[in-house]
Amino acid sequence: MEHRQVRPEAPRPLENWDALEHPADSGRPDEHALDADHDADHENDQGGQWGLFGPRTVTWRVHSDPLIGLATLRALAMQVLHPEGMANVFATARRVDDPWDRLQWAQRHIGAVVFGNSIEAAMTGARLRAVMGQVSGWSGDGDEFRGDDEELVLWMHCCQVASSVEVTRRGGLDLTDAEHETYLQEQVRTAAVWGLEPDRVPATRRDLTRYFRRVRPQLRMTHEARAFISSLLSPAVPDLIAMTQRNRPTWAPVAGLAWSSLPGWARTMYSSGPGDGAGSLAPAAATVALHSLRDELHRTRP
């Protein structure tokens, strides 16, 4: 498989999980007051500061949640299970074994689309499509593919959308079933920014479930995917640190929790995860841990 070559730089793990917060965190409205529809935001947007969404949308509620960074990490762990999706992940990281750089890249681009104005959203979409258009290779079936193929971009989008709403909701974000559906409907706008036709994008929970069921036969565990997830769960540390610090890095429990929050079929594909810590939690225990982490992040936010 060929992919765009990336510069060899040392991985830069996140020391502070709060670095993944979105621009809307400053002056963010109370989450229980954001239950009106997008049209009301659009009508009140006299200054043109809002783009695809606004503070009354479910999308702002979900993406302002402190667990959204962990949700994006979970999405990456799903995306790399698609062999061609793995090439797209490689194309947007400085190193293939640096998930933290790729995570921050994803957060910046998603944040610009969700919280930026219309111009920022359009420019972000164009930038992403340009990067993906440089990715090419050969699939496991021997067919040539491009990183901006519609099916591949749809896979990347659906992994992110599913992870964002499922992780935040499991962690305690107060969303009704109807609001869950509304979020998926709103995210069709994001998909359009990535170049997808709206009628191809799952816009209900039922459609999203059917989509993953349809795509799962195309997924497989590759050496690259296992190396990527290993660098996430068991990140390499400099020899000097390893000699002086026996414990795992501070971000390791959060990374393990992202893995534990994966759907059962994805965890099965990985066949084995970390033997201890947050990465070994059963689904019910992972939900409890997500609640605890969310509460802690709320307490520590300025």
Q: Which of 24, 202, 26, 203 is nearest to 112 (CA)?
A: 24
* Residues 142, 146, 147, 153, Cα dihedral to 10°: -90
- Angle value at C-alpha 285, between 80 and 260, nearest 5 degrees: 10
Domain ranges of the chain: 18-300
Whole-Å CA distances, 102 to 11, 34, 290: 10, 30, 22
Range list of β-strands (E), 70-219: 136-138, 144-146
pLDDT of the residue at 141: 60
**Model pTM above 0.85:** no
Structure-token match 């621009």, residue found: 23
Q: What is the pLDDT of residues 222-276, one digit of tens each?
A: 887 887 777 776 655 444 333 334 444 455 667 788 888 999 999 888 866 555 5
Q: Which residues, in sequence order, are bridge partners of residue 146?
A: 136
Distance between CA atoms of residues 77 and 147, nearest Å: 18
The count of other CB atoms within 10 Å of the CB of residue 126 is 12
Task: Write out pLDDT tens, residues 88-98.
Answer: 666 655 555 56
Q: How is residue 123 written in tokens? A: 């420019």
Task: Give the pLDDT score at 134.
Answer: 73
d(CA 144, CA 184): 31
Which of left, alpha, beta for 231 (phi over 0: left; psi -120 to 50: alpha)?
Answer: alpha
CA 77 to chain CA mean position, Å = 9
DSSP state of 184: H
Q: What stretches in the chain show pLDDT beneath 50?
A: 1-38, 43-44, 46-47, 237-249
β 136-138/144-146 pair status: antiparallel
Contact (CB, 8 A) for 20 and 154: no
Query: Among candidates 95, 130, 86, 124, which has minimal Cα distance to 108?
Result: 124
Instruction: Say which amino acid occupies 83.
Output: P
- Give the span between the Cα atoms of 145 and 187, in whole angstroms: 25
How confident is the model at residue 275, as a pLDDT? 52
Residue 82 CA to residue 291 CA, distance in Å, equals: 29
CA-CA-CA-CA torsion sign (254, 256, 259, 260): negative
